[in-house]
């Protein structure tokens, strides 16, 4: 699954899920591979880089599903989805 595919499914993932994604050319992109993981209380105490290395090698923390799903609200046309996904990626890269 990549970020573009996941974006269209965020509402089906558990709210407490965490998205880990692969950087392509040093950045997150719509075609970046990703996984959604629900972490145990013990895993939540670890640094996200440690969790990623153990459970999703080659991937990095991206965002929580609950936060990411908020960007998808109201995006129904392909152009809106593309714009919302671009905003989500920009948020994950710069503000999260």
State what percent of residues in the chain have pLDDT above 90. 88
For the segment 41-82, what is each residue's pLDDT rounded down to a tens digit?
Answer: 999 999 999 999 999 999 999 999 999 999 988 888 999 999
For residue 1, what are the contacts with CB-CB under 8 A and spacing of at least 6? 33, 34, 35
Q: What is the mean pLDDT of residues 76-93?
A: 94
For residue 63, what are the contacts with CB-CB under 8 A and spacing of at least 6? 18, 19, 88, 91, 92, 96
């Amino acid at each position: 699954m990549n970020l573009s595919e996941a974006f269209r499914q965020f509402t089906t993932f558990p709210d407490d899920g965490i998205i880990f994604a692969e950087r392509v050319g040093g950045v997150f992109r719509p075609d970046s591979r990703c996984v959604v993981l629900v972490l145990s209380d013990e895993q939540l105490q670890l640094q996200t880089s440690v969790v990623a290395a153990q459970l999703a090698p080659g991937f990095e923390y991206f965002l929580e599903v609950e936060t990411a799903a908020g960007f998808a609200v109201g995006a129904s046309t392909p152009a809106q989805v593309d714009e919302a996904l671009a905003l989500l990626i920009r948020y994950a890269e710069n503000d999260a």
